[in-house]
Each structure stands twice: as C-alpha cells, then as structure tokens.
Amino acid sequence: MLYCFQASAQYYTQASVIVWTRNFEEATATGDNSGIEKTEGGFSLGFGKRFNQDWSVELEFLPTMDFEVEKDNQKGHISMIAFTIAPKYTFAQDWPEENISLYIKLRVGWTKISGTDILNNYGKETSWTVGPALGVDYQINDQFSSYFDVGGLWSGGDVEDFDFFPWLLGLRYHFL
C-alpha cells in the first residue's frame, strides 16, 4: 500500500501548471463553426479529500489567461475562470509499481467566460461546465506526490462556445 493512500480520511492541496489546448467556435451571427485551435499556458490550484484507498474528491480553480483569437483578419479576446468539484476514482495500485497509481475523475463546475467574439462584441457569460479527466499519481514520499492529468471541459455561452482541454502537471502536498 502506498504511504499516502491509507484507508482513513486525508486532506491535500495541489498546484500545477496547465497547458490549455482550445478549440473555439466563435459566437458569430452567422454561426460560423469552423473553429480556431490555440495552445497556451496557465496554472491551477486545488484542495482534495481522500475518503479511502479508491475514492477522493477535489475542488479545483482552473483559470485561463487573457488570450487573443484571430480569424479572417478580425481579432477578439477571451478569458475564462472555472471552479470545479471532481469525484476521483483511483485504480488498484499493484500496477505498474507500488508508488504509481492511475485515476479517473469527472469535473463538474461553474465557469465565467469574458471577452469579445470575432465581431468584437464584448460580453460575460456564466455557465455550468463538465468534463472527464484521466491521470497518474507518483508518490514521492509521505507528504508529496506529483501528478499528470489530461481531460476536457465543455460549456457554452453568448460570448463563446468552447472545448477546453487542460493538461496538468503538478505537485500535491498531503497533510499528515
């Protein structure tokens, strides 16, 4: 059994860098859905509670930086803030070795999207968001683990319909 994956309740904090891959569908009057793909960096903070060897839940703060989109020589700006809660299931820890575990989680939350569409109409939209994620934990010692997590967040609104794909690489601190 891993050091931090004990049967008792356990709390942890996490911080990570994010590589965001986005596929945009501009909210234009014509409904042009040809999309723009863009990749940028960011950060994430979170807090988790482990209930047992298999189940935990995480609260995550997933913001994007303000970024520019351009299509047909027209420009716009978009930024997003997402707060999610993610039930997480950790698979058996026998494979591939004792200090590595695989997990799956489902992020459900709230987003606020701000910015301009390609037609430069400014707006703000709040919406629910949902998305699955797959990941791997690597136990470093009793208090630290690293993780890699990849998933998606899907939502929509008047400002922007979006598919965000966050790739997180981070560090967790486990309270003893």
**Residue 57 confidence (pLDDT) above 90:** yes
**pLDDT the model gives residue 5:** 43
d(CA 103, CA 136): 6
For the full predicted model, state whether its pTM sits above 0.95. no
Instruction: Write the burial class of residue 169 (CB in 10 Å: 0-12 exposed, 13-18 middle, 19+ buried).
Output: middle
Percentages helix, strand, coil for the chain (3-state, rounded to 5) are: 0, 70, 30
Q: Between 120 and 169, whose confidence is greater?
A: 169
The CATH-assigned architecture of domain 10-174 is Beta Barrel (2.40)
Angle at 3 between CA 2 and CA 9, to 5 degrees: 100
